[in-house]
Amino acid sequence: MGRKRGGMVIGPDGCGFDMRSPSEMETDDARREADEAAHAPRMAVTSRIRRVVQPEGGYLPLSLFDEVRLADPVPLYAFEDVPADVTGLAVDYLSRVARGVPARDAFRVPLAGARLVGRSADAERLLAMVDGFSDRSVRAACLLCGFDAASRRGPARWRAGRVRDPGPATVHNVRRMVARTLRFMDRMGPVVWEGFTFDGGYTDRVTSGDGDLLTADGLWDLKVSRWPPNPTYTLQLLVYWRLGLHSTHPEYLRVRRLGLYNARSDTMWSIPVARIGADVVHAVERDVIGYADGL
């Protein structure tokens, strides 16, 4: 008789025979899967999407979207002196403040990041300066957004001094893009949820993430990119929608349109969800998000 190791019997030739009962194997498998899930790294929507190899043209090609240019007559400067992600976050958070969201709530993510890197006092000082759209307020918002990475990506990904005090061109651009965003919201509103989440819809592949805004019948993502939307952006919209439908929040049941608004180009792209093929939805739910049965 061979030697026994756990539930395995190891024969003289080194081959193993599992002597556990089917119920014992199922219990052990479930315990192992739960342990792996508990110790798996957190994966936000954007991080997961960056790892996905999409079909040629993407799961949701931009050619399927309707494009509308809003054409603000006030131009932007061509150059900004803060990182692009910081510009986008400042526009997003200041737009929320302009719509009546308390500044502490609007900037909750960078405030949490500042706590993680021991810079709460600096963050609180900057938050106290966010009081509208004065130059001082916009500069403080940009500097505060520099802590966002510590919260979303972890303290190790944060770097002191990455965000400099923005100059006049950056302040003008942020302020103008906030104005464009507010005009867009007024056009597409009413806004029913800013900073939406997907409680109950996350999986072991997508464990966190939040989006920009829900209107009465639309799910929208806000961008300030210098380029048209790419397949990563459009897939992000599709993943948000499907996560929402699997979540505990009934607001997603009313979504009839997915869209992107770029405040830099003052352009919006949108697609009726009825235009999205069932085969695409099934593939994304199964292969990207990780729902066992898709649909």
Residue 162 within a domain = yes
The pTM for the full model equals 0.79
Query: Which residues, other chains included, contact 201 with Cβ-Cβ below 8 Å and sequence gap of 6+?
Result: 242, 243, 244, 245, 246, 247, 248
Summarised one tens digit per residue, pLDDT across range 150-186 is 887 788 878 887 888 999 999 999 999 999 999 999 9
> Of residues 6 and 116, which shows the higher confidence score?
116
Q: Tell me how many helices (H) and strands (E) the chain has.
A: 11, 9
Residue 6 resides in a domain: no
67 and 117 housed in the same domain: no
From 166, 194, 221, the end of a domain falls on: 166
**Can you give the CATH number for the domain in which 223 is found?**
3.90.320
Asked whether residue 93 falls in the same domain as residue 202, the answer is no
Q: What is the pLDDT of residues 230-246, one digit of tens each?
A: 999 999 999 999 999 99
Residue that is last in its domain, among 141, 166, 191:
166
Burial class (CB in 10 A: 0-12, 13-18, 19+), 284: buried
127 with 262, same domain: the answer is: no
* Reduced 3-state DSSP string for 52-104: CCCCCCCCCCHHHCEEEECCCCCCCCCCCCCCHHHHHHHHHHHHHHHCCCCHH
Structural domain range at position 222: 42-76+178-295
Whether residues 286 and 193 share a domain: the answer is: yes
pLDDT at residue 125, rounded to an integer: 96
Within this chain, do residues 212 and 276 fall inside the same structural domain, yes or no?
Answer: yes
259 and 271 Cβ atoms separated by less than 8 Å = yes
Residue entry with tokens 């019948």: 217
Q: Is-cis flag, bond preceding 190, omega within 30?
A: yes
The answer to the question of residue 248 being in a domain is yes
Mean pLDDT of the chain: 86
The pLDDT of residue 35 is above 60: no
Residue 5 inside a domain? The answer is: no
Would you say residue 190 lies in a domain? yes
Residues 182, 288, single domain; the answer is yes
Whether 30 maps to a domain, the answer reads no
Q: What share of the chain is helix, strand, coil (3-state, %, to 5)?
A: 50, 15, 40
Q: What are phi and psi of 35, to 5 degrees?
A: -65, -40
50, 115: one domain: no
- Same domain assignment for residues 197 and 100: no
Are 226 and 153 in a shared domain? no
Query: pLDDT for 248-284, tens place per residue?
Result: 999 999 999 999 999 999 999 999 999 999 999 999 9
Do 112 and 214 lie in one domain? The reply is no
Q: How many other CB atoms are there within 10 angstroms of residue 267's CB atom? A: 18
Cβ-based burial of 137 (10 A; exposed 0-12, middle 13-18, buried ≥19)? buried
Give residue-wise pLDDT tens across range 70-115: 989 999 999 999 999 999 999 999 999 998 999 999 999 999 999 9
The domain boundary, picked from 136, 166, 196, lies at 166
Note whether 160 and 248 are same-domain residues: no
**How far from each other are the two terminal CA atoms of the chain, in whole angstroms?**
50
Give the chain's domain count. Answer: 2
Rounded to whole angstroms, how far apart are CA atoms 173 and 91?
9
For residues 200 and 274, state if they share a domain: yes
Is residue 287, in this structure, part of any structural domain at all? yes
In a domain, 268, yes or no: yes
